[in-house]
Structure formats: structure tokens, C-alpha cells
Amino acid sequence: MPKALDPENLNGCQKAAVFLMYMGEEYTTQVFLKMKEQEIADIAFEMSKVDQITPAMLKVVCADFNVKFEGESKIVVEGDSFIKNVVNKTLKDKDAKAILDDLEKKKQDKPFIWSRNVNVNTLSTYIEGEHPQTIAMILAHMPAEISSEIMMHLADELKGDIAMRIARLGQISEDVVRDVDKALRYELSGAVGPGGKAGGLEVLVDIINGVDKSTEDAVMEYVEEDDADMANEIRKLMFVFEDLTSVDDTAMREILKKVEGQQLTYALKTATEEMKAKIFANLSQRAGEMLKDDLDAMGPVRLAEVEEAQQAVVRAAKELEADGTITLGKGKDDILV
């Protein structure tokens, strides 16, 4: 999934892209007819990086829509088909093809982005055979949700070592990243942007936030033994289920919209009274009564299922933070929405 734009740091081209995508294909076609080809190419490139338009983004680019969109959920848009239709309607076949081919090339250049289309079990099998430092570099550059799944598939004796290597990973040469990306993609060719990204604690925390409890415990135990100070820093950056008590009510309501009823019921099985009070305070009376009935009727549940449900709630919160809908305070100077 493309990373959501930061509403507070949109440049002019990004604002134009968001506005035109919101206005629709016909309107955008008319605007493009009055623009130069390079301007169209620049805006089209920014459009290709957008797969959702959040209320926060709309407030920045179009103040007139503040009231209409405040507090609403994101608008899902098909960026690729939108761009293709608009560019094809605006430019001659040859010019349109040149712009679209260039966009496709830029998208394909992003290292390891193809990993989303590969079976995780297959991917894990190939990666586990690599040197630990290579595994760390690969996981640091893959989308965090894919890296989390792979980390869970790794042997327990590898998890902690890989985690430490990710945390200590410095800037990686673009050529090295591309070489490893190319080699791994070639090996997985039957199954399936500029590099140079560094690893570090935040990359590791993103991965840990997506793994199961046993993997988290294995990683943290290893890190604690190797570097207690680093373990403390990781804990400060990590966002766990009970941390949701610190988010404000508006953010909590957005989170609850994304969580399935059964997941929420399981998640509250071992929750503190403070956490339960936070949840019930942000549900309608009817929804609260139904949840309370479900909790009362629920018998014994495996701890692993409860932990997975709590992680699902945290993932929902992290996704909303990533697209700019809410802000979580943990690890960010405790700034709340």
C-alpha cells in the first residue's frame, strides 16, 4: 500500500493531484487540456502515489470542504485507473503512452515492493537461507507488514539476532539494495524507487508491532540480553493495546470503526477496567450493550486469540495514523490528536 501523504507538508504539485482526484475524471480532463505536458506528467506522478484521500488532506487543499468531510472516513480511490483514463483522454496516444510507461517504471523501481504479491511462506523460505545481515537489510527495506510476517516465520534462534541487526543497520548503498532486490526477485520470479533506506530502531519497532506475542517476546529477550538500553528505547517507541487509553475520544471512535465486533470482544477479554471504560465510552449505547452481552456470554478463550485480537486493534490504529486520520502519541513526544 502506498504511503499516505502528510497533510501538513503537501507541496503545490501534491495539492493539485489530491484536488483533481477528488474532483473526478471529467473535471481533471478539462484542466489537463489547459496544461503543458510536463505539468501533466508531474501531477500524474503525484497521483500515482495516492490511493486514498483523507479528510485531513482535503482540509489542506480545499477549505470549503472542511465541514462536509470533518470526521469522515477516508475516500478510497483507484489511482492507477484514474490516471490512465485522464491521461488517455487528454493526450495523443504516443504522448499518453510515454507518460504512463514512465510512471510504471518509477513504481517498479521501488525495491522489494513486489514482495506484496508473493506468498509469505515461499518468501520466508528463500530469505531464511541468507546471511543474517542480508536478512536484516531485506526486512528493513520491505513494507513493514510483510517484514512482520516474515519475522514470525523465522526460526526463534534467528529472530533476536535479526532484530538487533535491523536496529543497528546504517545507510545502505543504493547499488547493494538494488542488487539484492534483483537477485531475490529473480529467484522468486515464478512466484511472483531509489534505494538507500537505513534501518534503525523505528524500522524495527514497525516490524515488531506487527508480529505475534511469541515472536515479540523472543526478539525482546534477545535484545534485553545484548543491549538493555536499546531494549528500553524500543519499549518506549512501541505502541501496545493498553496505550490506546491515552488517545482522545475522536481518535478512538475512528479506530473502533475499523475493528470487527468479534475482534473487539476478544481484545477486551483481558483488558484493564480503564481500557474497557475507554472503549464503552466511545460506543453508542446499543453497541455498548451488545458488546457487554457478548463479553458476559463468552467462555474461556485461548490467550493467543486474545493477543491476536488486541494486535488487530493496534494495527487498525497504526493504519489510521499512517493515512493521517489520527495521531498516536506514543513515541512522538506524546502529541495527541
The domains of the chain are located at 7-108, 113-237, 241-322
Residue 162 is predicted with a pLDDT of 92
- pLDDT > 90 fraction of the chain, expressed in percent and rounded: 10
- 325 contacts 56 by C-beta, under 8 angstroms: yes
How confident is residue 228, by pLDDT bands cut at 50, 70 and 90?
A: confident
Rounded Cα distance between 187 and 103, Å, is: 25
- 28 contacts 21 by C-beta, under 8 angstroms: yes
Query: For residue range 149-206, what is the model confidence (pLDDT) as tens digits?
Result: 889 888 888 999 999 999 988 777 777 888 888 888 777 765 443 334 455 777 788 7
Residue 256 is predicted with a pLDDT of 92
| Phi, psi for 53 (deg, rounded to 5) | -115, 115
Rounded Cα distance between 91 and 37, Å, is: 8
Rounded Cα distance between 124 and 283, Å, is: 40
Mean pLDDT within 218-239: 84
**Please, is 199 exposed, middle or buried when counting C-beta atoms within 10 Å of its C-beta (0-12, 13-18, 19+)?**
buried
Query: For residue range 15-54, what is the model confidence (pLDDT) as tens digits?
Result: 888 888 888 887 788 888 878 888 888 888 888 877 777 7
Rounded Cα distance between 327 and 333, Å, is: 11
Query: For residue range 98-150, what is the model confidence (pLDDT) as tens digits?
Result: 777 776 665 555 677 777 767 777 788 888 888 999 999 889 888 888 888 88
Q: Count CB atoms within 10 A of the CB of residue 124.
A: 17
**Element of type H or E holding 76:** strand 75-76
Q: Identify the bridge partners of residue 53 per DSSP, sorted by sequence position.
A: 75
What value does the mean pLDDT of the chain take? 78
> Taking 50 as the threshold, does the pLDDT of residue 64 lie above it?
no
Q: Which residue has the cell 489537463?
A: 32
241-322 matches 113-237 in CATH topology: yes
Q: String of b and e for 13-23 (b: at least 16 CB within 10 Å)?
A: ebbbbbbbbbe
- 217 contacts 225 by C-beta, under 8 angstroms: no
Residue 266 is predicted with a pLDDT of 92
What is the chain's length?
337
Report yes or no on whether pTM surpasses 0.75: no
Nearest to 18 by CA among 231, 328, 302, 323: 323
Q: Which residue has the cell 480511490?
A: 77
Residue 217 is predicted with a pLDDT of 84
Rounded Cα distance between 115 and 178, Å, is: 14
- 47 contacts 21 by C-beta, under 8 angstroms: yes
Question: Could you tell me the fold of the domain covering 113-237?
Answer: Annexin V; domain 1 (1.10.220)
Rounded Cα distance between 230 and 237, Å, is: 11
| 241-322: CATH architecture | Orthogonal Bundle (1.10)
**Element of type H or E holding 53:** strand 52-53
Nearest to 330 by CA among 255, 241, 259: 241
Mean pLDDT within 294-315: 86
- 75 contacts 52 by C-beta, under 8 angstroms: yes
DSSP state for residue 240 in the 8-state scheme: -
- 337 contacts 326 by C-beta, under 8 angstroms: yes
